[in-house]
């Protein structure tokens, strides 16, 4: 497992950046960088709640919200696979990455806010994430201003 770090400076209020991250339509916009028509099903991103991160066909992963402080931090722990909208039991393949985390933090600076993302990535997804993640951050920035 590899931990990747990404960041972008955004001249916008933290609440606007947060909305650009987690508002349903804004989320669909920036997550489409990874796969068109992707979306999330959540219970308002509540701490301790579950989230399904899905693509077309209702396939993806399910996660728990480990930490959620509005306008500051959102952290997920990825648990397992979703197929056709249903959580699948943890198997040997899933065990390899189950427990991986993904964290979004907003750091207040003098003239702007910095969005920092830390994400655990398997070797086979490393190149894709390194080449794609910045495009996601630019979309979030554009949607915040």
pLDDT at 145: 84
Rounded mean pLDDT, 110-137: 94
In the three-class reduction of DSSP (H, G, I as helix; E, B as strand; rest coil), residue 63 is classed as strand
Going by C-alpha positions, the residue among 77, 105, 83 that lies closest to residue 1 is: 77
| Cβ atoms of 117 and 6 closer than 8 Å | yes
**What is the pLDDT averaged over residues 109-134?**
93
Share of the chain above pLDDT 90, in %: 88
Domains of the chain: 2-144 (3.30.530.20)
Tokens of 124: 């086979």
pLDDT confidence of residue 44: 84
Q: Which two tokens stand for residue 135?
A: 């495009």
Decide if pLDDT at 139 tops 90: yes
What 3-state DSSP class applies to 77?
Answer: strand
Q: Residue 62: which pLDDT band, with cuts at 50, 70 and 90?
A: very high
pLDDT at 60: 95
């Amino acid at each position: 497992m590899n931990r990747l770090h990404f960041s972008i400076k955004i001249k916008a209020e933290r609440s606007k950046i947060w909305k650009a991250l987690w508002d349903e339509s804004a989320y669909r916009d920036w997550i489409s960088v990874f796969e068109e028509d992707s979306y999330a099903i959540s219970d308002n991103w509540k701490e301790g709640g579950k989230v399904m991160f899905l693509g077309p066909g209702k396939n993806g992963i399910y996660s728990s919200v480990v930490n959620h402080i509005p306008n500051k931090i959102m952290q997920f722990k990825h648990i397992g696979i979703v197929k056709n909208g249903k959580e699948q039991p943890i198997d040997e393949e899933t065990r390899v990455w189950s427990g991986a985390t993904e964290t979004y933090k907003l750091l207040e600076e003098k003239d702007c806010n910095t969005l920092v993302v830390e994400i655990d990535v398997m070797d086979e997804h490393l190149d894709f994430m390194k080449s794609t993640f910045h495009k996601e951050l630019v979309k979030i920035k554009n949607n915040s201003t």
